[in-house]
Amino acid sequence: MLPSGVNPVPLDDETFTKQASEQLQHRLSRLRPKMLEPSTKGILGVNASDRSRSSLSPAVMQLFDAPVYRLQLSCSPSKLQSISIKLPDEHDSHLRFLLEEAPSLFGPEQTIYQASFGPKKSILSNGTQDDANDTYSVLRYPLISFNQAAFWIGSIQLNQSGDGPPRTATQRWGELIPFSQSAVLSQGGTQDRHYNLTLSGLTCQLNRSTGWANVKVNGSNWSILENTLVNENLVPRPDVPMLSLASALDVFDDGSVGRAPGLGGHLLRAAMSVTDEGSHPDWKLETLADAFLWYEMESRSVLLDNDQAGRAERYKLQSNIDDYTMTFIPWILLSGLITLGVACGLTIGLSIDSWKVYSLRSGRLLDSIRLTADVGVALDKKVFEECSTWHGTRLNKCADEARFRYEANTRLNSETGLYSIGIRLRQISRPHD
């Protein structure tokens, strides 16, 4: 099972951070608009690590009573009080927006949210802002900022004229009142310029509930049968978003005019399947919230899967079973044994019958060529000519009555004066006509 909390995430490990960045980037590239579900309804996920999923037998079709959890956003319109900017320094290489919010339902005290906005200060330069105003009539950058378990989702508009957008209406959370601040000090040791910033958004928290459900398994695709969900209980305290850790990774640093750096810009562009949000100033806040919840679920699989001491659970499994029927037929087995016995008896009988044959006793190898040569020596040409004209019955009778024998043959070599000993086949009886 996946561990709870952010403590198991070793972001100080360079190897793990690099691998996590690559996996997060890959999963974000798979995001499509049709994959998003309303964040108010929530998303169900199986509480099992990727390591456990990969070790599951391919024959498993379904898991019964598997631990599952639901992530759900609880949001309300934001009431910001002030905005400030921090330039990159020796402690943090990112440009940061600090948002201070008045006390709300999520806390009796003021809350300060921090959002990373890439490492380049040039996005706030006068030249960049002039280019943005010349290219886009209205430029709303998506922004996501965090404060432990609370986070802020909304839009930010940078402008030189001080003209802010009108009130923003949403289908889920009603009307959002933009907050504008025209004198924002860029805190980096120098008071270099002021900006006109306008923000509107939501204050949110991440709720998690746990339960048990049946899971349909199809390879790496696991789908929860929602009608089987039982014993769903809400965790009392809000969860700390894993994206609060992932938002500081370098994978979200790139940006340009019309393409906001940071987590918000990358999420919105992936959710809308566009290359820049500047050409789509009417993008909806619901899209950004739904994409955030989807990516939060994906980031948990990446960042929490490293825990080696994850808690194990027992599952009831359903898998494919191939049934084989074996039918025992005695007479087939008996006939096979009888045939094998006959073959063994014939082999033994032929061996006993041929024990006087010289080739059997001497181990001489006989083949058709050797046998023909031996017969040709024993029989003269006339006999072969006569045999070729005989009837089959007579030819078989002749073969049955003819008797041959191998015997030693001594020959004198006239050149060396030595005798050589060989073996020849000699006919010892002739068949009767």
Select, from the ranges 63-67, 195-199, 284-288, 421-425, the one with the highest average predicted confidence (pLDDT).
284-288
Same domain, yes or no, for 292 and 341? no
- Determine, yes or no, domain membership for 374: yes
- What letter would DSSP give residue 392? H
Structure tokens at 179: 């907050």
Return the DSSP state at 86: E
Q: Which of 367, 122, 171, 178 is nearest to 287 (CA)?
A: 171
Residue 292 — very low, low, confident or very high, per pLDDT cuts 50/70/90? very high
How far does Cα 336 stand from its chain's mean position?
51
Claim to verify: residue 335 and residue 387 sit in the same structural domain: no
- Note whether 341 and 371 are same-domain residues: no
End position of a domain, from candidates 319, 347, 378? 319
* DSSP class of 302: H
Q: At what angle do helices 14-29 and 285-303 cross, to 10 degrees?
A: 140
Residue 6 belongs to some domain of the structure: no
Write the pLDDT tens digit of every residue in 42-70: 888 888 777 777 777 777 888 888 888 89
Specify the DSSP class assigned to residue 167. P
CA distance 305 to 318: 25
Nearest Cα residue to 292 out of 11, 36, 26: 36
**Domain co-membership, 402 together with 302:** no
Please report whether residue 1 resides in a domain.
no
What 3-state class would DSSP assign to 261? coil
405 plus 340 within the same structural domain: no
Assess contact for 58 and 32: CB atoms under 8 A: no
* Residue 311 shares a structural domain with residue 374: no
Query: Considering the chain, what is the average pLDDT of its residues?
Result: 77
Residue 324 domain-assigned (yes or no)? no
| Residue 424 binned pLDDT confidence (cut-offs 50, 70, 90) | confident
Residue 5: inside a domain: no
State whether 129 and 38 are in the same domain: yes
Gap between the Cα atoms of 206 and 152, Å rounded: 11
Tokens read off for 326: 């074996």
Segment among 124-128, 330-334, 346-350, 383-387 with least mean pLDDT: 383-387
Terminal-to-terminal C-alpha distance of the chain: 98
Q: Are residues 31 and 174 in the same domain?
A: yes
Give the mean pLDDT of 122-144: 76
Inform me whether the pLDDT recorded for 153 exceeds 50: yes
Structure tokens at 87: 């330039």
Q: Are residues 259 and 392 in the same domain?
A: no
> 233 has which bridge partners?
210
Same domain, 391 and 335: no
Tell me the mean pLDDT in the region 393-400: 72
Which pairing describes strands 80-86 and 96-101: parallel, antiparallel, or unpaired? antiparallel
- Is 348 in the same domain as 213? no
> Is 33 inside a domain boundary?
yes
Residue 187 has pLDDT above 90, yes or no: no
The mean-pLDDT minimum among 49-53, 166-170, 377-381 falls in 377-381
- Does one domain contain both 236 and 175? yes
Q: How many domains does the chain have?
A: 3
Q: Write the CA distances from 111 to 105, 123, 126, 128, 302, integer angstroms.
A: 12, 26, 30, 31, 29
Q: Which domain holds residue 394?
A: 366-433
